[in-house]
Amino acid sequence: MPDPASSPQKINSRYEIKDPAIGEGGMGVVYKAYDTVTKRFVALKTMRGNVDPAAIELFEREWTVLARMSHPNIVDILDTGEFREDGQRKPYFVMPLLPGVTLDHLIKSSSQRLTVERTVEIMCQACRGLQAAHDHGLIHRDLKPSNIFVMDDDTVKIIDFGVVHLADQRSVTGMKGTIQYMAPEQLEMKPATPMSDIFSLAVVCYEALTKRKPFTGKTEGELVDSIRTHIPPPVSDLNGAVNQLISRTIHKALAKQPWHRFSSAKEFSDTLQKALRNEPIDRFDRNKILPKIERIKRAQNEGDYQFAQEMLTELESEGHMDPEMSLLRIQIDQAIRQKAIRHLLESARTRMEEDELPLALQKIQEVLSIDPGNVDASSLKSQIERQRSEKQIENWFRLVREHLDNQLYSQARQGIQEILKINASDSRARELLAEIDRTEREATKIREEKQKLYEAAVDSYKNGEISTALSKLEHLLDLNRAGPKSIMPDRDAQYQSLYNQVRSERDAARNAYAEGRKHLGDHNFSRALEICQEFLQKHPGDPMFQALKIEAEEVQRQQQSAAIAEVNRRVEAEPDLDKKYNIIKEAVEKYPNEQHFKSSLKLVKDRRDLINSIVGRARQYEERGQFNDAAGQWDILRNIYPLYPGLDFEVQRLARRRDEQAKDEAKTRWVERIDHHFGAGEYSKAREVIQEALLEFPDDKELQGLESLAEQGIKRSSDANLLLAEGKALFAERKYEEGLN
- Of 97, 116, 137, the one marking the end of a domain is 97
Same domain assignment for residues 577 and 551: yes
| Tally of structural domains, the chain | 6
142 is catalytic: yes
Task: Please report which helix (H) or strand (E) contains residue 423, including its range.
Answer: none
62 and 22 in a common domain: yes
Mark whether 169 and 276 lie in a shared domain: yes
Alpha helices (runs of H) in 114-159, residue ranges in sequence order: 116-135
Q: The domain that contains 41 carries what CATH number?
A: 3.30.200.20
Q: Measured between alpha carbons, how far is residue 477 from residues 148, 427, 444, 451 in Å?
A: 92, 38, 16, 11
Q: Looking at the structure, do residues 272 and 137 belong to the same domain, yes or no? A: yes
Domain contains 391: no
Structural domain includes residue 46: yes
DSSP string, 53-114: HHHHHHHHHHHHHHHH---TTB----EEEEEEETTEEEEEEEEE--SEEEHHHHHHTT-TT-
Distance CA 320, CA 254 (A): 10
Residue at 3 is within a domain: no
User: What per-residue confidence (pLDDT) applies to 186?
Assistant: 92
- In the chain, the amino acid numbered 212 is R
Q: Along the chain (741 residues), what's the average pLDDT of each consecutive run of 10 residues?
A: 52 87 78 93 86 78 78 90 85 90 91 89 96 89 92 90 47 58 92 94 96 94 92 90 92 89 94 93 72 71 70 66 68 67 71 67 69 68 66 80 80 82 79 81 80 80 64 77 68 75 56 81 80 72 72 69 70 77 82 76 83 86 82 84 80 81 80 84 83 82 82 82 78 72 60
Domain membership of residue 620 (yes or no) is yes
Q: Which residues pair with 35 in a beta bridge?
A: 15, 40
Bridge partners for 150 per DSSP: 101, 156
Instruction: Report the first-to-last Cα separation within the chain, whole angstroms.
Output: 136
Radius of gyration of the chain (CA): 52
Using alpha carbons, list the distances in angstroms from residue 708 to 666, 693, 697, 711, 716: 21, 14, 16, 5, 12
Residues 83 and 125 in one domain: no
- Quote the pLDDT of residue 170: 41
Last residue of a domain, one of 233, 255, 282: 282
Q: Residue 497 belongs to what domain range?
A: 405-503
pLDDT of residue 313: 67
Q: Give dist(CA 438, CA 170) in Å, integer.
A: 85
Domain end position, chosen among 282, 297, 317 = 282
Q: Say yes or no: 34 and 127 in one domain.
A: no
Regarding whether 249 and 138 lie in a shared domain, the answer is yes
Residue 552 is assigned to a structural domain of this protein: yes
Q: Are 524 and 641 found together in one domain?
A: yes
Residues 162 and 246 occupy one common structural domain: yes
Q: What CA–CA distance (Å, rounded) separates 266 from 131?
A: 6
Answer left, alpha or beta for residue 154, where phi above 0 means left and psi between -120 and 50 means alpha.
left
488-492 CB contacts, 8 Å cutoff, 24+ apart: 488/447, 489/524, 489/525, 489/526, 489/527, 490/526, 491/447, 491/450, 491/451, 492/524, 492/526, 492/527
Would residue 394 count as lying in a domain?
no
What is the spatial distance between Cα 476 and Cα 499, in angstroms, rounded to a whole number? Answer: 10
The backbone torsions φ and ψ at residue 20, rounded to the nearest 5 degrees and listed phi first, read: -60, 175
Phi-psi region of 48 (alpha: psi -120 to 50; beta: other; left: phi over 0): beta
Closest alpha carbon to 141 in 122, 157, 160, 123: 160
The CA distances from residue 421 to 388, 393, 396, 424, 426, in Å, are 14, 10, 11, 6, 10
- For residue 49, the 8-state DSSP code is S
Angstrom distance (rounded) from CA 207 to CA 416:
57
- 546 within 8 A of 535, measured Cβ to Cβ: no
Contact 326, 342 (CB under 8 A): no
Please check whether residues 276 and 132 belong to one and the same domain: yes
Which one is catalytic: 3, 142, 675, 700? 142
CA separation for the pair 427, 217 (Å, rounded): 50
Within 10 angstroms of residue 157's Cβ, the number of other Cβ atoms is 23
> How crowded is residue 446: how many other Cβ atoms within 10 Å of its Cβ?
16
Nearest CA to 321 among 236, 392, 394? 236
My answer on whether 127 and 262 are in the same domain is yes
Q: For residue 697, tell me if it sits in a domain.
A: yes
Q: Are residues 715 and 612 in the same domain?
A: no
* Interior/surface letters 21-54, b for 16+ CB within 10 angstroms, e for the rest: eeeeeebbbbbbbbbeeeeeebbbbbbeeebeee
Is the CB of residue 348 less than 8 Å from the CB of residue 380? yes
> 133 in a domain, yes or no?
yes
User: Which pLDDT score, from 0 to 100, does residue 559 have?
Assistant: 58
